[in-house]
């Protein structure tokens, strides 16, 4: 099991290009500001207080569409339950 948390300030007009993660789920929490996030080709707006869950293998990208910097918390979660339970979880 492993987690990483990043606190980022994203300037207006900036963001992350379309990409995907093969080994981890991702959670984005919008602390302040507004972003346009694209998930599997579908756009949506996320504002202050919104949380976006992005399962691994989901294509996504985002752009700050607000007038001010957006503050985002990124959490990356990689869980291998077999390892967590010492190989006892046989399904």
Q: Report domain extents, the chain.
A: 2-82
Query: Does the pLDDT of residue 79 top 80, yes or no?
Result: no
The upper half-sphere exposure of residue 80, i.e. CA atoms within 13 Å in the direction of its Cβ, equals 7
Q: What percentage of the chain carries pLDDT values higher than 90?
A: 78
pLDDT for 69:
98
**2-82 in CATH: which number?**
2.60.120.10
Residues 6+ apart with CB under 8 A from 15: 35, 36, 61, 62, 63, 64
> What's the mean pLDDT when you consider all of the chain?
90
CA distances to 16, 27, 48, 74 from 33, in Å: 16, 16, 6, 14
Query: What is the pTM for the complete model shown?
Result: 0.82
Provide the pLDDT confidence category of residue 81 given band limits of 50, 70 and 90.
low
Backbone angles phi, psi at 35, to 5 degrees: -125, 155
Residues 6+ apart with CB under 8 A from 47: 30, 33, 34
């Amino acid at each position: 099991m492993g987690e990483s948390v990043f606190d980022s300030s994203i300037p207006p007009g900036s963001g992350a290009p379309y990409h995907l993660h093969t080994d981890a789920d991702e959670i984005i929490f919008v602390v302040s500001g507004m972003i346009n996030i694209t998930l599997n080709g579908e756009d949506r707006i996320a504002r202050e207080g919104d949380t976006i869950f992005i399962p691994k293998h989901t294509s996504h990208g985002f752009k700050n569409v607000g007038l001010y910097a957006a503050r985002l918390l990124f959490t990356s979660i990689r869980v291998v339950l077999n390892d967590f339970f010492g190989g006892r979880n046989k399904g």
